[in-house]
Amino acid sequence: MATRNRKRILYIAILGILASFAVLTVQRCIVRAARVQHASAPAPYFPAGSDWTQDISHAPLDPQSSAIINWLANAGGWGNRNRMHIDFAMRVLTADASTPKVRFHKGSTWYSPDSDEVSSIPLPKGGGLEGQDGYRCNGGDCHLIVVDRAEGKLYEAFAADYADGAMSAAFLAVWDLNRVYPPSGRGNQCTSADAAGLPIAPLLFNADELAAGSINHAIRFVLPNDRIRAQVFVHPATHAGAPKGPDLAPPMGVLFRLKASYDMSQLTPAARVVARAMQRYGMYLSDGGQIALTAQNDLDTNTKYADLGFNSHSMYPLQVSDFEVVQVPTPISLTYDCVRNK
């Protein structure tokens, strides 16, 4: 009898533990759902006339669309073993009137005249560089992105590092958030914190946008350098970096669009938000690399990707053959002779 009672007590205890675990799980789901339900998409960085905010869902295809897509697919596709992987290392920090500014000086490999020269730069407390815990660069590209909407400026730096009370970088672009830039951007033959000369932040998607169910801009994507056409770029890109691909390779600045016929059932609900943006706004080839897509790190957003069931593999179902090429502007030969727009 004592043995039966012990078994009964043990059984009841196990049931209690399981019930408590179930309650905690439900509570966590409710909290996550509440966070997602109240998420709102961030305001656009630039005015509505900017290239990356245009609806291109019905724009004409380039006559070479099929040839370019077929070449890229046969050349190995996206990189990373032909999988549309997502990099979450890039942070977008927010500054305001209370944000302290630190001294800024040119790095040892300063890009001139491509870069903007400033004496100081806002540095939000608790922020960090791309892929770093703070503002010290311990290897890698180490991009710094700071948006100050009140000041109307977007700071994007490459090879940034903070030491001895000052920030340095190899390159710095200070974008005017109140300006609709012309097709030649900051200037023909001028690079940016990306090789294409395009801004980075407006082309990153983030967890708040996925939770809100809408991305209202084009998306940044990259390809390995041997799969980007050498020595040319097309607007709105203004530079090309060091691509090595043949004439059939897509040029820097090209706009890819996900086909309207793509079967969305292959994707999770959050991934469908990204895919719909690829259909409506497309994605611009912005740099060379092995990781196709870049999303904003969720350290600086209200929503977390994990709460949405979204991760670095979520866009794996998308193949190069699922895309088409929007009509390509006239290619411009790369000369590196940067002439800045006023």
Strands of 101-106's sheet in order across: 120-122, 101-106, 166-169, 161-163
How far is residue 85's CA from residue 277's CA, in Å, rounded to a whole number?
Answer: 17
Please, where are the H alpha helices in the chain? 2-37, 65-74, 207-212, 269-280
Where in the chain are the domains?
51-333
What's the confidence (pLDDT) of residue 199?
98
Tokens of 56: 């291109």
Q: Above 90 in pLDDT, residue 7? A: no
Task: Report phi then psi at 211, rounded to 5.
Answer: -65, -35
Q: Above 80 in pLDDT, residue 14? A: no
| pLDDT confidence tier of residue 8, bands split at 50, 70 and 90 | low
How does DSSP classify residue 301? Answer: S
The proportion of the chain whose per-residue pLDDT surpasses 70, expressed as a percent, equals 89
Q: What is the mean pLDDT of residues 31-38?
A: 46
Q: Is cis: bond before 113, omega within 30 of 0?
A: yes
Q: What is the pTM of this model?
A: 0.89
Q: What is the mean pLDDT of residues 71-92?
A: 98
Tokens of 295: 């999303």
Q: What is the mean pLDDT of residues 29-58?
A: 76
Q: Above 60 in pLDDT, residue 257? A: yes
Q: How does the average pLDDT of the chain come out, rounded?
A: 91
Q: Above 50 in pLDDT, residue 29? A: no
Q: What is the mean pLDDT of residues 49-53?
A: 97
What's the confidence (pLDDT) of residue 256?
99
pLDDT tens digits along 124-149: 999 999 999 999 999 889 999 999 99
Q: What is the mean pLDDT of residues 214-228?
A: 98
What's the confidence (pLDDT) of residue 110?
97
The proportion of the chain whose per-residue pLDDT surpasses 90, expressed as a percent, equals 86
SS3 284: strand
Q: Above 60 in pLDDT, residue 219? A: yes
pLDDT tens digits along 307-321: 999 999 999 999 999
Q: Above 80 in pLDDT, residue 232? A: yes
**What DSSP element (H or E) covers 295?**
none
